[in-house]
Amino acid sequence: MRCKYVKLKLDRYIQGDLPDSVSKKIERHVSSCQGCADTLSRIRKLQGLFEDTSVPGVPEGFTERLMQYARHRQFQKASEPKIIRVWEWFDGAGLRKAAVAAGIIIGLSIGLLMGLQTSRQSYKTQVVASSALVDAYHFDYLTEAPENSISGVYIQMVSGESNFEE
Amino acid sequence: MSLTDEQLMIAVGKGDIASFEQIVIRYQQFAWRIAYRYTDNRSDAEEISQEAFVRVLDSAKNYRRRAKFSTYLYKILANLCLDHARKRNPQITDEFSGEKEFTETPYSNLQIKERDQAVRSAIDSLPNRQRLAVILRYYENLSYAQIADAMDSSIKAVERLLARARHELEHLLKDFS
């Protein structure tokens, strides 16, 4: 251990504020280093000078004056119109609430957008599928069949556009 | 069973003024002592300690149980003491020659009074942060971690701060040590 390090820790050593392992190392160092032993003795002497007991007691009526003021303040606060302070949302708990609310809103928005996108895509796929079917099997002659005729229903059934299951 | 400081603070946050009174009763002596030792002046000390409790009341709603209440109060007091020193001229008048009451002084020995006066003058002559660290360490016996918390500093910084303060005090008080 270096003397510079030990000298900085000596006051904490006296106070018992150091871990045991460090205290023991300091003890060993001080027992073999006259300079640090002198510093330790000087700190102890100086500490002896701080035994000052001459502090007057708390002034009379301290609590009463303070409580009177506190009650007055509480009353004033209660009678003030309620103001919503936005910055109070940004302390520890407020920030967490805001983050959770923002997360839910963002999640719902993404879900809604994805749902709309998927439904549009499946409509397009179905249209392509039915037109491809008509081209592939040369059902051109059936496309002009009247609505709800057997040919029309057949094309709808084959292309998957029908709602027979419902 | 009496409530802990932290439980009282939560009640104060909900507007319970009786819990606030309990906090004041528990800590008024402590707050007053630090403020008085720092300012060396009764009216300033009363102003600082009252203001500390008003701040406790005002911020009770936002009080979190992460830190011990005493640490929270040290921090408020430390800030108020340092603010006070910044606002005022650092040369503090010595009230000891006036008609001061020493309600807790068991000694009448003139030499001890002289020594105490010299110690107080020496402490008063230190820079603001050193003075506060000395009071918290040698009068209130706070650990280095508590002092660091109160002064928004690190333990190593407090070690250096107190080492400088001791060096200065040794020089100023060489006749007494």
Query: What does the H/E/C string look like for chain B?
Result: CCCCHHHHHHHHHCCCHHHHHHHHHHHHHHHHHHHHHHHCCHHHHHHHHHHHHHHHHHHHHHCCCCCCHHHHHHHHHHHHHHHHHHHCCCCCCCHHHCCCCCCCCCCCCHHHHHHHHHHHHHHHCCCHHHHHHHHHHHHCCCCHHHHHHHCCCCHHHHHHHHHHHHHHHHHHCCCCC
Asked if the C-beta of B124 comes within 8 angstroms of chain A's C-beta atoms, the answer is no
Q: What is the pLDDT of residue A123?
A: 67
Write the CB contacts of B87 (distance below 8 Å, at least 6 apart in sequence): none
Q: What is the pLDDT of residue A154?
A: 75
Tokens for B144, please give them. Answer: 């280095």
The answer to whether position B177 is within a domain reads no
The answer to whether position B110 is within a domain reads yes
Could you list the pLDDT tens digit for every one of the 166 residues in chain A?
788 899 999 999 999 999 999 999 999 999 999 999 999 999 999 988 887 667 788 888 899 999 998 888 877 777 766 666 666 655 566 677 888 889 999 999 999 999 888 888 776 666 656 566 666 666 666 666 666 777 777 777 776 666 555 4
Give CA torsion, residues A46, A51, A57, A58, to 10 deg.
40
**Contacting residues of B for A8, CB less than 8 Å apart:** 159-160, 163
Among the residue ranges A25-39, A65-79, B83-97, B127-141, the one predicted with the least confidence is: B83-97
Mean pLDDT of B53-57: 92
Name the residue facing A67 among B24, B101, B113 (closest C-beta): B24
Q: With a CB-CB cutoff of 8 Å, which residues 137-176 of chain B face chain A?
A: 137-139, 141, 143-145, 159-160, 162-163, 166, 169-170, 173, 176
Q: What is the pLDDT of residue B177?
A: 64
Cα-based distances in Å from B86 to A127, B114, B120, B154:
80, 28, 19, 22
The answer to whether position B92 is within a domain reads yes
Q: Are B52 and B77 in contact (CB under 8 A)?
A: yes
The domain tally of chain B equals 1
Tell me whether residues B138 and A92 touch, CB distance under 8 A: no
Q: Does the interface predicted TM-score (ipTM) exceed 0.85? A: no
Query: CA-to-CA distance for B157 and A134, rounded, in angstroms?
Result: 84
Query: CA-to-CA distance for A153 and A166, rounded, in angstroms?
Result: 15
B29: domain CATH number? 1.10.1740.10
Q: What is the pLDDT of residue B1?
A: 65
Q: What is the pLDDT of residue B148?
A: 94
Tell me whether residues A70 and B46 touch, CB distance under 8 A: no
The answer to whether position B99 is within a domain reads yes
**Contacting residues of B for A43, CB less than 8 Å apart:** 166
